[in-house]
Amino acid sequence: SYVLTQSPSVSVAPGQTATITCGGNNIGSKSVHWYQQKPGQAPVVVVYDDSDRPSGIPERFSGSNSGNTATLTISRVEAGDEADYYCQVWDSATDLYVFGVGTKVTVL
């Protein structure tokens, strides 16, 4: 089955940039979606289809996807961005939906 790998944690100072990566075999050929999950809450999509943002998501959240790595970038990080972030793809070969293991973003 298709596997997505994420670094377990990222620490960033307020105002700096957080970079979260999601690795997968030829992931650049798939559409990657990113979710933010705060403690005790349901996930919320922050980027979909590699780089699109839903309405209401700040422009500080951006995404890219190429080769074997997709990236979620959070610019000008704020305390409220502290959360777990998950990447997700649909594997058309198996019709399975796959999540990465998640990256915990800590704002110092």
Partner 1 sequence: QVHLVQSGAEVKKPGASVRVSCKASQYTFIDSYIHWVRQAPGHGLEWMGWIDPNTGGTHCAQKFQGRVNMTRDTSITTASLEVSGLQSDDTAVYYCAKESTTTFFDSWGQGSLVIVSS
* List of residues contacting partner 1 (CB under 8 A): 31, 33, 35, 37, 42-45, 48-49, 54, 84, 86, 88-90, 95-102
Whole-angstrom distance, CA of residue 72 vs CA of residue 33: 9
DSSP 49: T
Least Å distance between CB 16 and partner 1?
25
8 Å CB contact between 63 and 51: yes
Residue 80 three-state SS:
helix
Nearer to partner 1, 35 or 61 (CB): 35
Nearer to partner 1, 12 or 100 (CB): 100
Least Å distance between CB 10 and partner 1?
15
Least Å distance between CB 79 and partner 1?
23
Whole-angstrom distance, CA of residue 5 vs CA of residue 73: 16
Please list, in sequence order, all residues whose beta carbon lies within 8 angstroms of the beta carbon of residue 74, skipping any fewer than 6 positions away.
Answer: 12, 17, 18, 20, 60, 61, 81, 105
Nearer to partner 1, 60 or 104 (CB): 104
Nearer to partner 1, 41 or 80 (CB): 41
